[in-house]
């Protein structure tokens, strides 16, 4: 059996389904190009029938990247497949990913169908997709809870129908590693023609077992893994790309390899986290802020004597650059451009000038500007397209006074001003905002995060605001956390469906 593991990245499909993580097409292209540089074999670029935005993104990503196969998701429905084939028309290498639920609960409750009928629908969809492309992947949704004998029948039928890859998702993240590994082995041992297709893992992390399950699948014969950057994805997320890539790199005893250029892992992680406004937990394996930080005395002593005492991988191997140049107010445009390049963002001309001007303003407020700040600035131009913008904000607050805020908004070129008092400075500022924007909207979630330890740091604010029965997610970043909060609220309002 071949020892190459194909890396199928679904950050832009399964990952992007996370509420608040939606990217626009330009941002998706940026991520797709970074995934290409990282060395992924297949990019799942979207679910074209689900929205015009997804359809367009698949088209634009297909034009923008060269080497990876571009994959589009469908249900086992002809119309979905027609639209996916159309969206893939510019892809140099293309794949349609079609499938249907195979567990008894999906068959009964989702489809009100029978096992035999599901096999027929699966076969029909694969044959239909093969009319458009040579590379068709079939997913057996909820395969994790599908009885192995029936799953083997489904997989055998779709391979006969022309599936080139068979995906065995643990959709609910329920399987134990031993169980998932045994499932893959069962298919290897019992499916006629299994050698004509690649078996793929697709594991969710509901019980924290996604990486272990993926490894169990690979050790038992799967040769494709479906993963996301930082493990983002529905609910508790998907298997994280960086964990699988580094397990296979560190474990020389396992004779499996990927095409991943591991030194691009960290910049890719930062880029995805920044564009999706999705912080990476500090203790996240491989890419978390503390992944290589040794704090206990015993560990520090050991590492100083020989790093191998407590470090199983070199931070440089995942692209963490200890000697990264720290940018300050004296850094030039070229240094900023270089740092952005290292982080996977290519900027030139007017765009670079704009980011540089913002960088200088921030560097005036903060002594040292770090990678997260830079990525935040590079992404800040998203707010330029907003029709509602914050013009000014003044807040007085302190012990023994009731906070008061006055705010100025620019709404499609027209200026508005208002003032209000509140329980705290953020409350006062949002009340003032609501004097101008008179809508029934409710703040549902509000988190403030700083990146470094310094009191001069940029505060990042994530908010969820409910309006007209829908939830909207907004983001703001500023060294002034009251301003960052108001920017996050305004970001939500700009997304309201008119
Ligand atoms: O988790 C899952 O089952 C999926 C399929 C659509 C592949 O994401
Ligand atoms: Zn999934």
Q: How many CB atoms lie within 10 A of CB 367?
A: 11
Cα 167–Cα 170–Cα 173 angle in degrees, nearest 5? 155
Does the structural domain 6-275 have CATH classification 3.20.20.70?
yes
Atom of ligand 1 nearest to the CA of 14: 8
Are the CB atoms for 217 and 231 separated by under 8 Å? no
- Ligand 1, atom 5, lies closest to the CA of 141
Q: What is the pLDDT of residue 260?
A: 98
Q: What is the pLDDT of residue 298?
A: 67
Phi, psi (deg, nearest 5) at residue 126: -65, -45
Q: What is the pLDDT of residue 344?
A: 72
Query: CA-based Rg of the chain, rounded to a whole angstrom?
Result: 25
Are the CB atoms for 475 and 462 separated by under 8 Å? yes
- Ligand 1, atom 6, lies closest to the CA of 141
Q: What is the pLDDT of residue 206?
A: 98
Pocket lined around ligand 1, Cβ cut-off 6 Å = 14, 139, 141, 167, 169, 171, 202, 204
The CATH code that applies to domain 388-497 is 3.30.160.270
The gap from C-alpha 248 to its chain's centroid, in whole angstroms, comes to: 22
pLDDT in tens, the chain (498 residues): 789 999 999 999 999 988 778 888 888 999 999 999 999 999 999 999 999 989 999 999 999 999 999 999 999 999 999 999 999 999 999 999 999 999 999 999 999 999 999 999 999 999 999 999 999 999 999 999 999 999 999 999 999 999 999 999 999 999 999 999 999 999 999 999 999 999 999 999 999 999 999 999 999 999 999 999 999 998 999 999 999 999 999 999 999 999 999 999 999 999 999 888 888 998 999 999 888 876 566 666 666 777 777 778 899 999 987 655 678 888 888 888 888 887 777 888 988 999 999 899 888 887 778 777 887 788 765 666 688 999 999 999 998 899 999 999 999 899 999 999 999 999 999 999 999 999 999 998 887 876 555 677 778 788 888 888 877 878 888 888 999 999 989 988 988 865
Q: What is the pLDDT of residue 82?
A: 98
Cα(491) to ligand 2 centroid in Å equals 28
Residues of the chain with CATH 3.20.20.70: 6-275
Residues of the chain with CATH 3.30.160.270: 388-497
Cα(181) to ligand 1 centroid in Å equals 18
Residue ranges near ligand 2 (ion) with Cβ within 5 Å: 14
Cα(144) to ligand 2 centroid in Å equals 12
CA distance 245 to 262: 7
Which bound ligand lies closest to the C-alpha atom of 141? 1
Strand order in the sheet with 470-478: 441-450, 459-467, 470-478
- Ligand 1, atom 7, lies closest to the CA of 139
């Amino acid at each position: 059996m071949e020892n190459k593991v194909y890396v199928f990245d679904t950050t832009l499909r399964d990952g992007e389904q996370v509420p608040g993580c939606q990217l626009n097409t330009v941002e998706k292209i940026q991520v797709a190009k970074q995934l290409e540089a990282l060395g992924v074999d297949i990019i799942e670029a979207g679910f074209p029938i689900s929205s015009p935005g997804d359809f367009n993104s698949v088209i634009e990503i297909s034009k923008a990247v060269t080497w990876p196969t571009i994959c589009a998701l469908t249900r086992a429905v002809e119309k979905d497949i027609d639209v996916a084939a159309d969206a893939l028309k510019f892809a140099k290498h293309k794949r349609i990913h079609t499938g249907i639920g195979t567990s008894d609960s999906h068959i009964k409750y989702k489809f009100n169908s029978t096992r035999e009928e599901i096999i027929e629908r699966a076969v029909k969809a694969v044959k239909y997709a093969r009319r458009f492309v040579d590379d068709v992947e079939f997913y057996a949704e909820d395969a994790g809870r599908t009885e192995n004998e029936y799953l083997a029948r489904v997989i055998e039928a779709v391979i006969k129908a022309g599936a080139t890859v068979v995906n065995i998702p643990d959709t609910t993240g329920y399987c134990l590693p031993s169980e998932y590994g045994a499932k893959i082995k069962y298919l290897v041992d019992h499916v006629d023609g299994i050698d004509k297709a690649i078996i793929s893992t697709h594991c969710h992390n509901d019980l924290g077992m996604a990486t272990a399950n993926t490894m169990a699948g690979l050790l038992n014969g799967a040769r494709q893994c479906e993963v996301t950057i930082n493990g983002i994805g529905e609910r508790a997320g998907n298997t994280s790309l960086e964990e699988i890539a580094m397990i296979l790199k560190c474990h020389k005893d396992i004779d499996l390899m990927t095409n991943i250029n591991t030194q691009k892992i960290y910049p890719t992680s930062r880029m995805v986290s920044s564009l999706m406004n999705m912080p990476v937990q500090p203790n996240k394996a491989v890419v978390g802020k503390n992944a290589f930080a040794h704090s206990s005395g015993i560990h520090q002593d050991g590492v100083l004597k020989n790093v191998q005492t407590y470090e199983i991988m070199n931070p440089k191997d995942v692209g963490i650059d200890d000697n990264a140049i720290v940018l300050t107010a004296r850094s030039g445009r070229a240094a900023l451009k270089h740092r952005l390049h290292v982080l996977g963002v290519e900027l030139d001309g007017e765009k670079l000038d704009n980011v540089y001007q913002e960088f200088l303003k921030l560097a005036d407020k903060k002594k040292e500007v770090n990678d997260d700040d830079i990525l935040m600035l590079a992404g800040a131009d998203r707010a330029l397209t907003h029709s509602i913008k914050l013009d000014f904000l003044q807040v007085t607050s302190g012990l023994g006074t009731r906070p008061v805020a006055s705010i100025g908004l620019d709404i499609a070129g027209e200026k508005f001003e208002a003032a209000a008092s509140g329980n705290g400075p953020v409350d006062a500022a949002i009340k003032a905002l609501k004097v101008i924007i008179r809508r029934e909207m409710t703040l549902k979630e509000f988190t403030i995060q700083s990146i470094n330890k310094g009191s001069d740091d940029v505060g990042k604010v994530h908010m969820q605001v409910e309006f007209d029965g829908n939830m909207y997610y907004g983001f703001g970043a500023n060294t002034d956390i009251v301003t960052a909060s108001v920017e996050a609220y305004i970001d939500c309002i700009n997304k309201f469906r008119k």
